């Protein structure tokens, strides 16, 4: 079920109606659990069974790990969780990719080709697999006590707003919200019972409106330019390739952060706080700063469950660089069964390693006064984003020959512009969106917590703002809902 459809609007209104009428906490949790499984079934049909299997596996393994007195048994149970979850993820996501690589190698050796499997990739499997893995790993580390309620744990895994494309939520962040009184949070009060307050309703609606605007006005309308250039880059000039890379960078950010805003806003209306997933990544001033701002929930997961266990930066400089490259290689592979995602991940691993190496080897740069000036900051941002948008080409272009051509054109400018001018003439509206996007990003950067500020407007002014956003979507929406890019992961 796509967020950007009337089906979801009706579905969400029915959910709000149900929890507003029946105030019993147990009923509300069962109601949300049933709604979440229906949401997944509506999107993936029988593959909802995988979600159920993953939930049951880690719920009982988590309890067994906690109750076990033997460290060896704890480790064995954790291995079962890892193998079970990663086995399902690997089979459904990478089986045909592995067969393709085997056939590619085997054809040169005269081996018979293997038949591809008829596999449908379950929507959201990469996200809920990481959620359930973090649960058992945290229990194994002694950082989390397992849930005594299968209902609560199943709701944590399947919670429909963030089920398909995150944010990746941890049990320690979500489960307490089902059973504890949370103080000092203005958007929800006592969440022993789900209560829809005016404050969290307005902020939630504001976030959802921002998300719909990002997806349906910006991402979907700039997609034709990105698709035209990076869908077949071989005939394009350097400046056209750069335009296409910027267009796709805007598209994927607006698409993915738009989903996250809708998910966080919907959860907030229901009385739950989900972690922030984006924080103006195109103002990042270094590769590490970018990953503190982009897909934050995945960055934290990779840091806590891969980078630190590998040794982080505690062993040696060379090991630190290796760990950064390894983590980003696996992060790229997590995105999809295709070598272009691996290239994208390895590029970011290279960026992180080189940045760390420069700071290690040239320490005076770390605190050089120029980087504390506005000029130094602007230069740092521009250099960082140059490489970020270069990597977006690898994320979008799957054919290696086309990818190499596009990246060469991006790096080694040919200074030709005749065809580029034609593209600019043909895609004037998309260029307007690019200018609008960066203007809005600048406003958002200069005005932190903009959605929260807007949600505090008096009702008439707040309503006019929301109406303005909806009208902007309505007049430039073609009526065909487009999938969110991260649905494929």
Catalytically active residues are 335
Cis status, amide bond into 167, omega within 30 of 0: yes
What is the Cα–Cα distance from 312 to 323, expressed in whole angstroms? 6
Q: Determine the distance from the C-alpha atom of residue 326 to the mean position of all C-alpha atoms in its chain, rounded to a whole number.
A: 20
Encode 255-288: b = buried (16+ Cβ within 10 Å), e = exposed: bbbbbbbbbbbbbbbbbbbbbebbbebbbbbbbb
> What backbone torsions phi and psi does residue 456 show, to the nearest 5 degrees?
-90, 0
- The structure tokens 């982080």 sit at 312
What is the Cα–Cα distance from 218 to 224, expressed in whole angstroms? 11
**Structure tokens, 183:** 């103080």
Cα–Cα distances (Å) from 218 to 223, 254, 384, in that order, read 8, 7, 23
- The structure tokens 């880690």 sit at 58
**Structure tokens, 395:** 């994320």
Residue 240 in contact with residue 229, Cβ under 8 Å? yes
- Classified as helix, coil or strand, 121 is coil
Widest distance between CA atoms in the chain:
73
What is the Cα–Cα distance from 203 to 453, expressed in whole angstroms? 9
Neighbouring residues of 363: CB distance < 8 A, sequence distance ≥ 6:
none
- The structure tokens 């991260």 sit at 486
- The structure tokens 């969780």 sit at 81
Q: Where are the beta strands (DSSP E) in 203-350?
A: none
Q: Determine the distance from the C-alpha atom of residue 408 to the mean position of all C-alpha atoms in its chain, rounded to a whole number.
A: 28
Neighbouring residues of 476: CB distance < 8 A, sequence distance ≥ 6:
217, 221
- Length of the chain, in residues: 489
What is the number of H-type helices and E-type strands within the chain? 22, 0
């Amino acid at each position: 079920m796509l967020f950007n459809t009337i089906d979801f609007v009706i579905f969400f209104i029915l959910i709000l109606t149900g929890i507003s009428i029946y105030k019993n906490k147990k009923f509300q949790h069962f109601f949300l659990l049933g709604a979440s499984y229906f949401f997944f079934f509506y999107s993936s049909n029988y593959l909802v069974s995988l979600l159920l299997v993953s939930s049951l596996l880690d719920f009982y393994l988590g309890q067994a790990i906690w109750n076990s007195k033997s460290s060896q048994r704890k480790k064995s149970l954790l291995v079962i969780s890892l193998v079970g979850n990663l086995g399902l993820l690997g089979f459904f996501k990478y089986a045909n990719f592995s067969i393709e690589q085997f056939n590619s190698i085997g054809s040169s050796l005269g081996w018979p080709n293997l038949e591809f499997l008829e596999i449908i990739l379950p929507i959201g499997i990469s996200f809920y697999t990481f959620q359930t893995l973090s649960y058992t790993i945290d229990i194994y580390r002694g950082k989390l006590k397992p849930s005594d309620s299968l209902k609560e744990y199943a709701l944590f895994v399947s919670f429909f707003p963030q089920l398909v494309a995150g944010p990746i939520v941890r049990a320690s962040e979500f489960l307490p919200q089902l059973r504890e009184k949370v103080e000092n949070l203005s958007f929800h009060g006592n969440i022993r019972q789900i209560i829809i307050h005016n404050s969290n309703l307005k902020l939630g609606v504001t976030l959802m409106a921002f998300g719909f605007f990002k997806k349906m006005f910006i991402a979907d309308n700039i997609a034709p330019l990105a698709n035209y250039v990076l869908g077949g880059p071989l005939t394009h000039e350097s400046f056209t390739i750069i335009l296409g890379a910027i267009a796709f960078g805007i598209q994927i950010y607006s698409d993915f952060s738009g989903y996250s805003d809708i998910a966080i806003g919907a959860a907030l209306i229901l009385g739950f706080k989900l972690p922030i997933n984006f924080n103006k990544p195109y103002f990042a001033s270094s590769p590490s700063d970018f990953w503190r701002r982009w897909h934050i929930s995945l960055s934290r997961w990779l840091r806590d469950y891969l980078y630190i266990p590998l040794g982080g930066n505690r062993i040696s400089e060379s090991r630190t660089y290796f760990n950064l490259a390894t983590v980003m290689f696996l992060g790229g592979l997590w995105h999809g069964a295709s070598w272009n995602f691996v290239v994208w991940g390895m590029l970011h691993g290279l960026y992180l390693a080189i940045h760390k190496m420069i700071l290690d080897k040239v320490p005076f740069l770390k605190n050089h006064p120029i980087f504390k000036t506005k000029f130094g900051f602007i230069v740092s941002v521009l250099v960082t984003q140059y490489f970020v948008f270069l990597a977006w080409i690898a994320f979008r272009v799957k054919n290696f020959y086309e990818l190499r051509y596009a990246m060469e054109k991006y790096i080694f400018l040919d200074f030709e512009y005749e065809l580029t001018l034609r593209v600019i003439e043909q895609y004037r509206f998309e260029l307007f969106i690019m200018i609008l996007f960066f203007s809005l990003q600048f406003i958002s950067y200069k005005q932190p917590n903009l959605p929260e500020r807007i949600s505090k407007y008096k009702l008439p002014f707040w309503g006019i703002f929301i109406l303005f956003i909806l009208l902007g979507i309505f007049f430039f929406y073609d009526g065909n809902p487009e999938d969110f890019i991260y649905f494929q992961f």
